[in-house]
Chain A
Amino acid sequence: MSPAHAAGAPLLALAGAGVRFGRLQALAGVDLQVHAGERIALIGANGSGKSTLLRVLHGLQPLSAGKLACAAPHRQAMLFQRPYLLRASTQTNVALGLWLRGHAWREARARALTALARVGLEALAHQNGRTLSGGQQQRVALARVWALQAQLLLLDEPTSSLDPHAKREVEALIAQLADPGAVQTGAAQAGTAPVTTVFSSHNLGQVKRLATRVLYLEQGRVLADLPVHDFFNGPLPQAARLFVKGETL
C-alpha cells in the first residue's frame, strides 16, 4: 500500500533497498520516496529497521542491495535519540555543525547564538553542553540542525529518552520546524520555510500530531505506507493493526 504523493521530484528515493548485517536482514526491498513538505513517521517494533532506514537515508549506512537516489539537491541533517554534545559550551556545540559544513568559525558562533535563541536556550550559550538535562541537550541538538538550515530532517526517536515535560518541549520545537505556518509562537518563525521530516517513534499520539504519512515496518520490510488519517482509520495489514492496538501477533 502506498499513498498518493505530492507532484514533483522527490528529495530522496529508495528503490529495492536492502541492508544485511551478517545473517540479519535489517532492511529488505524498501521502496520509499520522500517529497518536499512531507512529514513521514516510521513505526514498528524494536528491531524492525526504523533506525537502519533513517541511517540509510542520511548516507550513514551503505546499502547491501537496491539504490538511494538524491533526485533534488538539498541540505539534510539528522537528530539522534541521545544527542552527542562535546564537553564544550552549547554555543560551540552548535557552531561546530556549521563549521563542519564550511562556515567561518566567527560567523558560525554568531549564527549559533541565533539558533540557541530559536530553541529558547540563549541563556545557556556558555554552559557546558554535557552538563545539561536530556531535554536541554536535545534542544541544543535541534538548534544545531536548525542552524544548518536543513530542508530534510531525519529524527531517530527524538523524544523517547525524555521525561514528559521535555518530550512536549522537544515535540513542539519539531512541530515548529516541520510546519512553522501551523504553529504561531512568535516572530522568530516568520518567513521560515517548512522542513521535510522523516522520524521514527513508538508514540502513536506523537505520530498523529506530527506526521502526514506513516510507514509501518516489520522485520525490515514496509508493510504499510499510508497517509496518517488512513493509517489510523482505514484497513491495515493484520500486523500493523495489532501494533496500533498495542498487541503482538
Chain B
Amino acid sequence: MPSPADFLASSKSSVADERLHRAIDTAAHRFLDTRAEVFAGFPNGEALRQRARALKEQSLARLDECLEALQAALEKNGATVHWARDSAEARRIVSAIAAENRVSVVVKGKSMLAEEIELNEALEASGIEVVETDLGEYVVQLAGERPSHIITPAIHKSQQEIALLFHRRLGSPIYTQAEEIAAEARRALREKFLRAEMGVTGVNFAVAETGTLVVIENEGNGRMATTIPPVYVALLGIEKVIPSLRDLAPFLDLLPRSATGQKLTAYTSLISAPAQLGNRKQEMHVVFIDNGRSRILADPAMREVLFCLRCGACLNACPVYRKVGGHAYGYPYPGPIGAVLAPNLAGLDTASDLPFASTLCGACRDVCPVKIEFPTLLLELRRRIATARGKRSERAVVRAWSKTVSSPLLYRLASRLARLCEPALRWPAIARRLPLARSWYEVRELPRLAKRRFSERGPEGDGRGGKRT
C-alpha cells in the first residue's frame, strides 16, 4: 500500500507553483461547468442522486450474497474468479496468471485499484513490460510520475510539456497540436495492443445477477485491453457490486455526467464472458479485492466511503485540491475522496494529515453523485486522529482555552492579558519562539485587537458605546 506522504511538507512546493494552479484551475473549472450544464438539462438528476445513494446502501447491506452470486454467474459464463484479502495477495494472483501464460507485455486500462495495489511495480519486477493505454495515464507513465487526478491523470501537465516528453521518450517531432500528440500515442499503443498477451483493467460496476462487469471509458483503450489480448484480468473492488441490471441505470446516468459532463462516455462495455475472436477463446480472470474494504464496511460512521463511484467531481470542486494538486496527497486517490479513503485504507497513523487538508466547505458533498457526507466524515476522522495521537501540549492548550472561555472571570482576565501582550506578540522574533505558535505565524499575521473590548461597547448608535470604525 502506498503510504500517504507528509501532506504539509509535500504541498509546500505545489502551493507556490502558479503554473500548476493555472493548469488545474482551468481544467477543474471546465469540468465543473460542463457538469453543471449537463445536470441543468437533467431534471431527474437530484432524485437520481438520492436513489443511487440508496441503491449503494442496499447493495452493501447484502454484499456477501451479491459477491457469491456474482462469482457463480461469472463462472457460469466462463470466467475464473480469484479472491484477494490485501494488495500483496492481489499482486501475487495477477503475477501468477501472467507467469502461467508466459506474458511479456501487459496493456492496462485506467484503474485506480491497480494504483492502490501497486500492480505495475510487481509485474515489472518479474520482467514484464506494463503499458498504460489511457492517454493521460500513458503520459504520466512516460514521465515516470503518478496520476494526479482520477479522471484526467495528467491534469498537471501542459500540452507543451507533453510534446517535449514525447519528443524525449518516443523520438517524435515536437508537436504543437493536441491531435498530433494523440495520433502519436495511437500509433505507439496500437502496436502494444496487438502484441500484448494480457490486458488488465479496473471495473466501475459489477452486476451480481448476470455476472456483468461494467467498464466505462472514452478512448477505446478499455475496449481494446478487454478484448484483444488472449488473457484478460479484471480488478474488482468488492464494494462495486450491485444486485441487478436494472440497478445499473441510475449509475450510468450519474457517473459520466458527474465525471466529464457527458450523458454517457464513448464506451460503456458490459463484460460478462470472455471475448471470442475467431477460434481463439479468451481466458478471463476476475480478482475480487478486499484490501480494507470489509473493515470500512464494519465501521458504520465510515461505511458511505464505499459508495464512491470514482468520478473525480469532488476533486474539481475542492479549493484545497485546486491549490495543491493531486501529487501532494501522496496517495492514489487525491482530493476529498482521498482524504477520507486514505486514512481508512492505509490506516489512521500513516494518513493522519489528509483529513485536515480540507476547509470543510462541503463543495465536494454538493457535487457528489452519491451524496457522500464529506464534512461529517472528515470531522469524525479528525476526532479519531486527535484522540489517538493528539499531542499532550495541544490537548492542554485546548483544555485551558475551553476553561477560559466558559468562565466570565477567566475570560476577562485573559483578554486584559492579551491586550498587554499584544505588542510583544507582534514581534516575530518573540512570537516564533512561542510553543505551538511557530507554524501558525509562518503563514499568518496576528489580527489587530479592537480598541475597546466588545463588552465595553454598547449597541451601535445608542450614545453610550463606541461606533464601529
Question: Are A and B associated in one complex?
Answer: no
Residues of A in contact with B (beta carbons under 8 Å apart): none
Residues of B in contact with A (beta carbons under 8 Å apart): none
